Each structure stands twice: as structure tokens, then as C-alpha cells.
Amino acid sequence: MKEAGPRRERPRIVVMGGGTGLSVMLRGLKEKPMDITAIVTVADDGGSSGILRSELQMPPPGDIRNVLTALADVEPLLSDMLKYRFNTGAGLAGHSLGNLILAAMTDISGDFVTAVRELSRVFAVRGQVLPAAGQAVVLHAEMEDGSIITGESKIPEAGGRIKRVFLEPDHVEPLPEAVEAIRQADAILIGPGSLYTSILPNLLVPKLAEAVVETDAVKMFICNVMTQPGETDNYTVSDHLKAVHDHIGHQLFDYVIVNNGDIPLQVQNKYAEKGAKPVVLDMNVLKSSGYQVVADTLVLFKTYLRHDADKLSHHIYQLVQNWMLRKR
């Protein structure tokens, strides 16, 4: 009879996505006793990331920089410096200091993955940050009218309804460390973030998706609070999950974590000016599809609506702990 391996006191979790929502969540998760690996999209082609990607032939640094900053154990001033964006200066305007540091380290080390690893060490990052692939990828969208939109930053601007997204090259290789992290994980967290341009690009890397499907880790989807103009207009929670299922061919998730708290009307009106509105929680559809739903008031509003990182990380940690107890 095979002896049980040593019991792990710190759960291993893998978080996949990109954008601001992922960074907000990670700021809460890093305070929990968990070993975190963040797998981050390399499809970004807009703004500072797009310029550096094009001019230096490197993967886009923006989402990676946001995650490094979120997980870094540094003074607030250094965190602010990494996020600082130059407003003036020929060639500097629009670039964030963190992106430029990542570009410099890539040039020094000769390799983007090594640059991320070294900066993680310098900034005392609590966890492991990995690009989904060692090369930049191009994201395409087929719209419902049959047109093809090329470029992550161009897709939300197209104004139509997205039928599917796909990568070029279509058989991009993931980092072996990313695949291994998924295989060793106790929990896989996907979202929050832009559904078609941050979340799905990770799952479209074939071997990453296969690893997520095959692992017996608990899988959670953290749904966005608001719809995103040009991506998820009028989407319900189940519409988000259907898009993942349609792209991957599997119902991935055990749990769906959603906001059911009221959003003040004045805040809704502010977002409505840009075409966004609260994601409708269609609870009956979710439950009839077999998902277990964790619903709570998970939003905070300052300048923008954001997930409540403390509450969200508490729910995630409890779900992971309960899952591990059941497996023992």
C-alpha cells in the first residue's frame, strides 16, 4: 500500500488572468498562508506594453508588471514608483517606470522569463509570476458578422458581438513551469479580468488548458462585477461561463464567486456613460448547470468599482481549505 505523502500546510494556488482585477485580488491573497503562482497573459498590444513589444521584440510587460507590483513586499513608495507613468518627454510619455525596468532587465538577461524571475527576487515577490508563454502572441477575434479583428487592444473597439477569440501562433508553447504549477496546484483561480482579452488568452494556450482540465485541483471562476463595453455587453454570469466552455470544450469550474451586493445608482450611472452595467447574477441557470455559487457583497467603490480584496481572499481561502480537508 502506497504511503500518503507529507501533508502540505500551505495550499498551492494558481491564478490565471491579467489586468487590474487580477492585481486587486492578488493584494488580498498574498496575505493568506498560501503559495501563489500567477500565470499572466502575453497578448497585450496597447499603450506602453504595445510600444515596447513592437520596438524591442519582447513580450508585453504591462500585466506582468501589475502582478509583480501587487505581490511585491516593498515599501508603498517603491510600489508607486513602479506604477508611475511619464506624462511628458519624447519617447517617455505614456511609459510606466515598471515597464521600462522590465524591458531593461530583459535586455540585460537576454530573456523575458529570466527578467521576471530576477525582478521577483529583487522586489521580494510573495509567490511566483510566470508569463503564459515565453513569446508574445497575437490575439484575433471572429465577430458574429464574420469579420476578423486583430490585436487585443482593437477587439473591444470593434463594436460588435464576439463569436470567438484565437491566438497566433495557434500552437504556442507554454512555459514548462506554468504547466507544472497547474499540475501541482490545490486550487486554480480564473478571473477576474477582461473575459476575451485577458482570461481566455491564457486558456487558449493548448497545454495550459489541458493541464487545467486534467488537474483534480478545485477550480474557481471569479466573475467581473461590471460588463465591459465591446466585450461582454449585456452578459450575465452564466454568459461568461458559457464563453469559457465554448472555447475550451469543458465545464471547468467547481465554484463561481460572484457579487450580489447592491451598486449605488450614482455609481451605475457613472459606468453607464461608458456602456457598462452590473453583471446579472442568473442564479437558477448557474445552479441548474451544476455550479456551486458563492455570492456576497464583494465590491468597493472609490474612484472605480473594485473587488473587495479582503472579502474575496477570505472566501477563496475557505473554499481551498475545505477542498483540501475533503481530499485527505
Q: Are residues 86 and 183 in the same domain?
A: no
pLDDT higher than 90, residue 243: yes
Residues in Cβ contact with 259 at an 8 Å cutoff, skipping those fewer than 6 apart: 223, 225, 279, 281, 295, 296, 297, 298, 299, 307
Rounded to 5 degrees, what angle do the CA atoms 124, 129, 72 make?
30
Identify the CA nearest to 116 among candidates 64, 78, 79. Answer: 64
> What average pLDDT score do residues 213-230 get?
96
Which tens digits make up the pLDDT trace of 16-52? 987 788 899 999 999 999 999 999 988 888 888 888 8
Identify the CA nearest to 258 among candidates 311, 318, 185, 322. Answer: 311
Identify the CA nearest to 166 among candidates 136, 199, 138, 133. Answer: 138
Q: Are residues 304 and 193 in the same domain?
A: yes
φ, ψ for residue 241, nearest 5 deg: -70, -35
Residue 7 banded pLDDT, cuts 50, 70, 90: low
CB atoms within 10 A of CB 185: 24
307 lies in a domain? yes
pLDDT higher than 70, residue 281: yes
Lowest mean pLDDT across 42-51, 58-67, 172-181: 42-51
Predicted TM-score (pTM) of this structure: 0.92
Query: What integer best gives the mean pLDDT of the chain?
Result: 91
Provide the CATH number for the domain around residue 231: 3.40.50.10680
Rounded to 5 degrees, what angle do the CA atoms 46, 48, 54 make?
70
Total number of domains in the chain: 2
Which tens digits make up the pLDDT trace of 135-153? 889 999 999 999 999 999 9
Of all residues in the chain, the percent with pLDDT exceeding 70 is 97
CB atoms within 10 A of CB 117: 17
pLDDT higher than 90, residue 92: no
Identify the CA nearest to 64 among candidates 88, 81, 77, 82. Answer: 82
Q: Domain containing 126: what range?
A: 45-131
> What average pLDDT score do residues 278-283 get?
97
31 lies in a domain? yes
Between helices 112-122 and 97-109, what is the axis angle to 10°? Answer: 120
Q: Are residues 189 and 285 in the same domain?
A: yes
Please report, as a single letter, which amino acid is at residue 193. Answer: G
Q: Are residues 53 and 107 in the same domain?
A: yes
Helix, strand, or coil (residue 316): helix
Residue 207 banded pLDDT, cuts 50, 70, 90: very high
Listing DSSP states for 179-214 in one string gives HHHHHH-SEEEE-SS-IIIIIHHHHTSHHHHHHHHH
Identify the CA nearest to 14 among candidates 137, 181, 260. Answer: 181
